[in-house]
Structure 1
Amino acid sequence: MTTTPRWTTLALALALTATAASACSSSDDGKSEAAPVRIVINPAAPPALPLVAEKNGDFKKNGMDVKITILPSTSITTFAPGLGRTYDIAWGTPADVIAASAQGHDIKVIAAAYVDSEEHQQGQLFASKSAKITSLADLKGKRIATPSLSGTLYLSVQTALRKAGVEAKDVELVEVPFPNMLDQLNAGRVDAVATIEPFVGGFKAAGHTGLGDPFLSVASPAVTGMWIANQGWAQKNPEKVTGFVAALDAAETWAGANDKEARDFLASALKLPPQVMAASTLPDWESDITAENLNPWIDAVAASGQVNGTLPKATDLVAGN
């Protein structure tokens, strides 16, 4: 986590862009001010830091009342239409944020969520231990499971393969939910899988062959998760953006100093076996983000041809630019 209070700068930038509408964000009876900030996340470790912040009282310490909703979606295209209406702040991943913006959703990235790096790998490609696959180039002609046929992990797999000389047409990519991937690989129904924490440990224990973190084929380190809001909401509520980011920073500091307690809490909150969470690599939670962090993802989306429409500029996506 950076020592520079980046979130203060962001809040000032948002406040400057707000006009008279900002003054109208609170009604005369104060009900708007009392309304909780509605946060939506997925049930996984990278988006779970708001749960830690809520448990520790970090939101209240920053003058915020929040309502956190956990939805079993892997794509923020589900969340984008509801931003500013059903939800105020949502978890997002780069490919989905870029796609949602290209589809006309007026969203802004208000903070990073976590950074994927060599030391904190959250993704991994595994090949069957019974196959003669030792590199990405060996996947040509093989059947590879991904959790969906869109999104950031899918994009990262395609990018990793392309950089290894394997085009998308050279492999068969099939959709398999994360919890079913190990059984599919063990049974030989697929030759390789692209998975994330906390599922990585199961593949290692089974002896399957790791082929690297596909996220790092896009950038290393890579901002692979982020927090987004409707631009109008963010402009009207700079103090809530400030409070949200400050609460996450406090929760990240606590988790870094209390590893076992953080793992125990996350296992309970995410309904995961404690032994699974204990063996997982925790995310490198980080709130700082710049347009430069998004440029490699925009380039990867452009190269993949996955998104129809005009791709956004990174400077237009990140709040405060």
Structure 2
Amino acid sequence: MSKALRRRLGRGLAAALVTGLAAFACATGAMAENTKLRFAYLLADSDLPIFVAQKKGAFQAAGLDVELTEVQGGPAVVAAIASGSADVGYAAPVPPINARLNGVMVKMVMALGHEVDPDKKFLWLVASKASGARDLGGLKGKKIAFNANGSLCELAWRDHLAQAGMSMDDVQVVILPFPQQEAALEQGAIDATCTVNPFFASMSRNAEVGAQVVASGVLADESKPILNDVIFAGDDYIAANAQSLRTFGKVIFDARKELLANRAELEAAAVEFLGLTPEAAKDFNLPIVRPEVSIGEADVQPLLDAMKRAGMLTQDIAAGDMVANMAP
């Protein structure tokens, strides 16, 4: 082989190697890109592990690029998923149940919170001292608030009022987002409200409100655990992104575990991400009855039964149609 030919072959081989290496770098760079997951939520206690995990870079480390978007209420989370502006959402279970009943094909994929008698309650019906109400009966003719129509708080009011021999016809309903309720109680615009943390922890320490708990828990009877917080997604997204959902759940599970093991970190996170004062954070707890985040038909059926009793559900539907467990 002539020297000229060897030089031409050498230059060709070098060029091929450069091209190949560049292509490999592009390919591996694409592979290294994290999977985007757009998450819509309403501000509430169960969000806290997600905020902490995001700040620590835990989602990124697990291969997820999580984009957080806050909205006002569970129905707004459903709307974000239905419109395609979010992939996954957090809310109480009633909004995704209502969504599926109305043709928005979402399913609950993880459970973030439960309640159970006697003292694991994470939803409260609270009256102001100015209302004069000290029990549910004292609210007859008064203005009561909940955050959205078709919400878990609407179900709570209906169920507890029925237990007290009353109905929604005995009160005046005001729809008011959680963040506005404390001021409304203080100003006398409403007499009572359904609230959750972090808002309960704040209003319960507000002397101007003089909060009086007239009932607690999603349902009047919580002798067995009752589901109160979920993550949900559209059917098509679940089918195409099962592994991403399981990874998302694993990061949340680990973050919850770490917060539960470190009270100081939990309180500091509640101050930083939920806006609580250090004093209010001392009363804050995550709504966790069981450590796992799995969800099944048995979690959903009691809520379907309660919604039917309350007149919020007019058709029969199988609990299995509402869930697709993606827990890690």
Give the TM-score band, short-chain normalised.
Answer: 0.7 to 0.9
Amino acid at match of 1:297: L
Is 1:44 matched up with 2:27? Answer: no
Q: What's 2:312 paired with?
A: 306
Please state how far the C-alpha of 1:172 moved relative to its aligned partner. Answer: 1.2
Q: What's 1:230 paired with?
A: 234
Amino acid at match of 1:318: V
For residue 63 of structure 2, give the secondary structure of its aligned residue in structure 1: coil
Contact map agreement 2:34 2:63 (CA 8 A) in 1: no
Contact map agreement 1:80 1:105 (CA 8 A) in 2: no
Q: What's 2:320 paired with?
A: 315
TM-score (norm 1): 0.79
Alpha-carbon spacing, 1:48–1:66, altered in 2? closer, same or farther (3 Å): farther
Amino acid at match of 2:70: L
Please state how far the C-alpha of 1:152 moved relative to its aligned partner. Answer: 0.8
Is 1:257 matched up with 2:261? Answer: yes
**Equivalences for residues 143-158 of structure 1 within 5 A:** 143-158=143-158
1:201-252 CA distance string (max 9 Å, x none): 3443334321121414264532111011112221222221221121111111
Alpha-carbon separation, structure 1, partners of 2:52 and 2:316: 34
RMSD: 3.0
Alpha-carbon separation, structure 2, partners of 1:218 and 1:132: 26
Alpha-carbon spacing, 1:195–1:33, altered in 2? closer, same or farther (3 Å): same
Q: What's 2:123 paired with?
A: 123
Is 1:287 matched up with 2:290? Answer: no
Please state how far the C-alpha of 1:157 moved relative to its aligned partner. Answer: 0.9
Please state how far the C-alpha of 1:158 moved relative to its aligned partner. Answer: 1.1
Alpha-carbon spacing, 1:294–1:275, altered in 2? closer, same or farther (3 Å): same
Contact map agreement 2:142 2:171 (CA 8 A) in 1: yes
Alpha-carbon separation, structure 2, partners of 1:50 and 1:79: 19
**Equivalences for residues 84-163 of structure 1 within 5 A:** 85-117=84-116, 118-163=118-163
Alpha-carbon separation, structure 1, partners of 2:221 and 2:161: 11
Contact map agreement 1:80 1:107 (CA 8 A) in 2: no
Contact map agreement 1:156 1:215 (CA 8 A) in 2: yes
Moved more, 131-140 or 240-249: 131-140
Alpha-carbon spacing, 1:112–1:193, altered in 2? closer, same or farther (3 Å): same
1:163-219 CA distance string (max 9 Å, x none): 211011111121234344344334444332222212223443334321121414264
Contact map agreement 2:110 2:325 (CA 8 A) in 1: no
Alpha-carbon spacing, 1:133–1:86, altered in 2? closer, same or farther (3 Å): closer
Name the count of aligned residue pairs.
293
Contact map agreement 2:92 2:152 (CA 8 A) in 1: yes
Contact map agreement 1:37 1:64 (CA 8 A) in 2: no
**Equivalences for residues 134-283 of structure 1 within 5 A:** 134-205=134-205, 206=207, 207-217=210-220, 219=222, 220-283=224-287
Contact map agreement 1:42 1:72 (CA 8 A) in 2: yes
Greater RCO, 1 or 2 (C-alpha within 8 Å, sep 6+): 1
1:95-139 CA distance string (max 9 Å, x none): 101110011111121110112334342221122335553332332
Which consecutive unaligned segments of at least 5 residues does structure 1 have?
1-26
Moved more, 232-241 or 221-230: 232-241
Q: What's 1:67 paired with?
A: 66
- Kindly name which structure, 1 or 2, has the bigger radius of gyration based on alpha carbons: 2
Which consecutive unaligned segments of at least 5 residues does structure 2 have?
1-26
Amino acid at match of 2:145: A
- Percent of aligned pairs with the same residue? 24
Alpha-carbon separation, structure 2, partners of 1:44 and 1:267: 13
Q: What's 1:5 paired with?
A: none
